[in-house]
Chains A and B, each alone.
Chain A
Amino acid sequence: MLSEEDRRLLHVLSQDCRLTPEELAIQTGLTPDYISKKIKQWENDKVILKYSPLINYDLLEEERVTALIDLKVMPQRGQGYDKIAQRFLKFPQIKSVYLVSGDYDLCLIIEGKNMHEIAQFVSDKLSPLDVIEATSTRFIMRRYKQDGVEFVGEEERPQRLMITP
């Protein structure tokens, strides 16, 4: 169970992970020393896995396509879904792998330069695998919101009056 102090620290850190322990201390009321130790501990325990910016590639002139790929798989005797999922983890194109409920079993998120590249990957690397019974590929056409951040419409936000009681 997280303490109230640690919850506060995680909140501020998840808003902006570039803050120094001193800056974090101001915003959480904790000491820089405690914060440094806690972050180190979370890093060691793999609670914090990575610090990465959320980039809107749509604004850069970069060809980049993301697809959601649903897989129906046949678990092998003695090997559950975990074993099958393991096979996919090492492909750098595959950004996320989830076991899901519903019509399909696994959901992969794949990034590639263009649709062709992703289609090629699916037909070359995924479909031929014995354990895979069916695939369904859905390309992301537009990103509206990701990781809690809205990608569009922010500039249209209505303004508050400048001074109110």
Chain B
Amino acid sequence: MKHYLSPLVLNLKPSGIRKFFDLASGMEGVISLGVGEPDFTTPWVMTESAIFSLEQGQTMYTSNAGLIELRRELSKYMARKQGLDYNPDNEILITVGASEAVDLAMRALLAPGDAILIPDPSYVAYAGCASMSGAEVHYVPLRAEHDFRLQVEDLQMAYTPNCKVLVLSFPNNPTGAIMTREDLLPIARFVSENDLLVISDEIYSDLTYQGNHTPFANLPLMRNRTIHVSGFSKAYAMTGWRIGYACGHPDIIGAMTRIHQYTIMCAPIMAQVAALEGLKSGDSPKKEMIREYDRRRRLMVHGFREMGLTCFEPLGAFYVFPDITVTGLRSEELAEQLLQEEKVAVVPGTAFGPGGEGHVRCSYAYSTEQISEALSRIKRFVQKRI
């Protein structure tokens, strides 16, 4: 039946993670460092509020843009935590995970013939979503020698006049890199000079371990050029609830809402209720999780460095991205052999774009016992090869 499929879909490659998932899932006794989600469960106050709302019969559609109470609370949160002012009536859209927000933004902005600049390596969905709009994908390398921070020179190299959108994703999955205000300023100038719009996926913004996160929309003249995308999955440990949001100029949020209205209608109400509770009940459960991640982050970076791998210090998200070239193996080979020999699952860097070659992504969203065991297995593996 393949000849019935749209050429856009035929050209859509399966995520590089899929193959690995199948391989690892069939094995017993595997320690996985492969997940991109917290090992905590959602703070109970949030889960409990959703249960209560269901008991009360809150099982209806919400408005397309999401519960107004949630958008109002989000607007306050954006002002309080990110220093950004968004009107809850027309500048905030509640989505089914940040992933939907990325998809909507790309569909609202891109048409065949347009090009989009995507950092490489970065989250698996950007290139796939962009290609569904028929846009050309231009990868912009993130380099280890710059701690995987995006450089203007690399943007200039990848830029062509049909480029319309730049994707930013800091703190970054898979590298764990962050970008400070100083790092972002030249990027903002480049964006202005070339009349670009930015989809800034800041889903990990609450998970930083040094200094405060700078939202890209906060930089001079960037508010209206930026679609700020985020969600509750990571910082509130709510991956399965699928709840995210986008903030930006009313024209763009309005266009995204129109697509959302025809495809999704609205995000699930119980997830919206839980998210609302999370925003109202304050930051203390989040703080506890961040403290624990920070401890595991240090443990993992130390472990990799000790076994002789170069490993830059990730300051955001919950990933470590060690350089494995010293083993003489390519990312995929290493991940495959490590799984077969030592039963440790890591994700090859190339799953996040060609620029991930020479690295593997290891998540530290695991208990310290699991991390220590995985590290000692990886050490045994690496020592046979260096």
Contact = CB atoms under 8 A, between A and B. Distances in A.
Interface in A145-165: 160-165
A7 B21 CA distance: 38
B259 interface: no
A147 to B, nearest CB: 15
B299 A164 contact: no
Given A12-B295, A15-B292, A160-B39, 8 more contacts: A8-B295, A11-B295, A27-B296, A27-B298, A27-B299, A162-B25, A163-B34, A165-B15
Contacts of A16: 368
B299 A26 contact: yes
Contact of A163 (B125, B239, B294, B345): B345
Please classify the interface of chain B as helix (H, G, I), strand (E, B), loop, or mixed, using the class held by over half of its residues.
helix
Nearest to B302: A26
Given A16-B368, A26-B302, A163 B35 contact: yes
A28 interface: yes
B17 interface: yes
A41 B17 CA distance: 49
Interface string A1-37: 0000001100110011000000000111100000000
Contacts of B295: 8, 11-12, 15, 27-28
Given A16-B368, A26-B302, A27-B298, A163 B292 contact: no
Given A163-B20, A163-B24, A163-B35, A29 B298 contact: yes
B36 interface: yes
A162 B335 CA distance: 14
Contacts of B20: 163
Contacts of A7: 291
Contact of B24 (A26, A160, A162): A162
Nearest to B369: A16
A7 B24 CA distance: 38
B37 A162 contact: no
B381 interface: no
Contact of B125 (A161, A162, A165): A165
B380 to A, nearest CB: 19
A162 B21 contact: yes
B77 interface: no
Interface in B301-317: 302
Contact of B345 (A26, A28, A29, A162): A162
A162 B34 contact: yes
30 contacts: A8-B294, A8-B295, A11-B295, A12-B295, A15-B295, A16-B368, A27-B296, A27-B368, A28-B295, A29-B298, A161-B25, A162-B25, A162-B32, A162-B34, A162-B35, A163-B17, A163-B20, A163-B21, A163-B24, A163-B25, A163-B34, A163-B35, A163-B345, A164-B34, A164-B35, A164-B36, A164-B239, A165-B15, A165-B17, A165-B351
Contacts of A165: 15, 17, 36, 123-125, 173, 351
A160 B24 CA distance: 13
Contacts of A162: 21, 24-25, 30, 32, 34-35, 345
Contacts of B105: none
B347 interface: yes
Given A161-B21, A163-B347, A11 B35 contact: no
A26 B295 CA distance: 8
A73 to B, nearest CB: 35
Q: Could you say which of A7, A12, A16 has the most chain B C-beta atoms within 10 Å of its C-beta?
A: A12
| Among all A-B residue pairs, the 8 with the closest Cβ atoms | A163-B34, A163-B21, A162-B32, A27-B295, A26-B302, A165-B124, A164-B36, A162-B24
